[in-house]
Structure 1
Amino acid sequence: MVKTGQRAARTSVWLEDKTRRGTRGGGQPSGLDRERITSATVRLLDAEGLAKFSMRRLAAELNVTAMSVYWYVDTKDDLLELALDSVFGELALPGLESEADWRDDLRTLARGYRALLVRHPWMSPLAGTYLNIGPNNTAFARVVHRVIRSTGLPPRGIAAAISAVFQFVYGFGTIEGHFNARSNAVGMTPDEYFQHAMSEVNRAPETTELVRQSEDIMAARGGDTVQEMWERDFDFALDLLVAGIEAMVKREGG
């Protein structure tokens, strides 16, 4: 029940009978459909970022009026939620017939989710804004649950294991994606931007000592490029999580 003075909480475009079209008046615009609008939204978000996105900008991209877009979606939130679920459809999910070990399936899911976050850095804030119950994200969640259940962990550990793996991936992919976006925004490659950032850090007295103390860690990371460092760090961290699940299964008698 909504109290006086309170706004009704938004639920989801998938729960508010908006999955077919918007509810604003007027006839259906020719040459448009929800799939085309959603695809254009994803392209704009990839190219310009979330902060610059607007319904007016989208309408210009589609060469239609803003009201034409509103025939299919009632609000900007609805459209962003549709775009978020749309990119989850890019994931290659292990099927029920997969004969791979759970470790391999888990690595496939983790790497795919990370790549998605890096490819679409605008996903990160939206994933924490909406319910994420569209068909593509729901399909991803089902496979994640199935794979984690197959580890042998007891039911009380399933949710924690999912959080440990995929919240790690979310954080890693978010940082990597935003780092690449910042590099691109200033016209640098990731390697150039990394060298620039490190030179600035080395100039600051309060961080110089921290850098010196971390020299052995940086040297041990290996790799000639930022991308190679990302890959090695991610793979090692994922191996740590897999080893942790294996250890917990043994401890719990699985």
Structure 2
Amino acid sequence: MATGSRTVRPRSSVWLSERKAPKRKGDQQPVGLDHVKIVAATMRLLDAEGLSGFSMRRLAAELGVTAMSVYWYVETKDHLLELALDAAMGEIALPMEAVGPVEGQEHSPAEPRDWREQLRRLAAEYRQVMVRHSWVPALLGEYLNIGPNAVVFSNAALAVMRNSGLPDDKITSALSLVYQFVYGF
């Protein structure tokens, strides 16, 4: 897409790209790093400093490695931000009925069975994630948000809405309304 004299390319997604590890002669993969540690440190930095204060150099310093070491695990800063966004979505507690039985967990009597209450809880959980991680709303507008945790959340919300009695062709619109209300609130 062209705007003025510059061409804007669509943003790539960590969920749609094939990871190609750097292959440089003599380089060794950094010891002690993994996706979990990198994403956790990213979220801590984003929580503390926001999007404007986040950089790959700052992240590397937090992890005690060079900035290039982080690129063994993620191709770009954008991909890392997508991973952090999905990790934040994974913090949302989901209703058991919506996600199905989880091995080793029994249904809690406190778990709401009414779809309205389940939807309220999902909306409240969604909002809590956005409040706890003030950088999440900005990323929701920038990235596809199609990681595994986001998909589980979306599927749970769809399952709750299917119990509402709305026709299937209205469910997505109803959920969009709820999400936009929470996002705007």
After TM superposition, is the score higher than 0.5? yes
The match for 1:69 is 70
The match for 2:125 is 112
Instruction: Tell me the CA shift for residue 7 of structure 1.
Output: 5.5
Select the residue among 113, 117, 125 that pairs with 1:100: 113
Q: Distance in 2 between matches of 1:170 and 1:128?
A: 10
* Count of matched residue positions in the alignment of Structure 1 and Structure 2: 167
SS in 1 for 2:52: coil
Instruction: Tell me the CA shift for residue 166 of structure 1.
Output: 1.1
Instruction: Tell me the CA shift for residue 6 of structure 1.
Output: 4.5
Q: Do 1:113 and 1:169's aligned partners in 2 also have CA atoms closer than 8 Å?
A: yes
Q: Do 1:85 and 1:132's aligned partners in 2 also have CA atoms closer than 8 Å?
A: yes
Whichever residue aligns with residue 18 of structure 2, its letter is D
TM-score, with structure 1 as normaliser: 0.62
Instruction: Tell me the CA shift for residue 133 of structure 1.
Output: 0.7
2:161 is the alignment partner of 1:160: no
The match for 2:55 is 54
Q: Distance in 1 between matches of 2:145 and 2:64?
A: 29
Q: Do 1:11 and 1:131's aligned partners in 2 also have CA atoms closer than 8 Å?
A: no
SS in 1 for 2:143: coil
Q: Distance in 1 between matches of 2:75 and 2:36?
A: 15
If asked which structure has higher relative contact order (CA below 8 Å, sep 6+), I would say 2
After superposition, what is the alpha-carbon deviation per residue over 1:133-152, rounded to whole angstroms, capped at 9, x for unaligned?
10001100001111111100
Instruction: Tell me the CA shift for residue 10 of structure 1.
Output: 2.5
Instruction: Tell me the CA shift for residue 66 of structure 1.
Output: 0.4
Instruction: Tell me the CA shift for residue 27 of structure 1.
Output: 2.3
Q: Distance in 1 between matches of 2:12 and 2:70?
A: 21
Q: What's the RMSD between the two structures over aligned residues?
A: 1.9
- Name the % identity: 57
TM-score, with structure 2 as normaliser: 0.84
Unaligned regions of 5+ residues in structure 2, if any?
Answer: 1-5, 102-106
Instruction: Tell me the CA shift for residue 12 of structure 1.
Output: 1.2
Whichever residue aligns with residue 70 of structure 2, its letter is V
Q: Which has the larger helix fraction?
A: 1
Unaligned regions of 5+ residues in structure 1, if any?
Answer: 173-254
SS in 1 for 2:42: helix
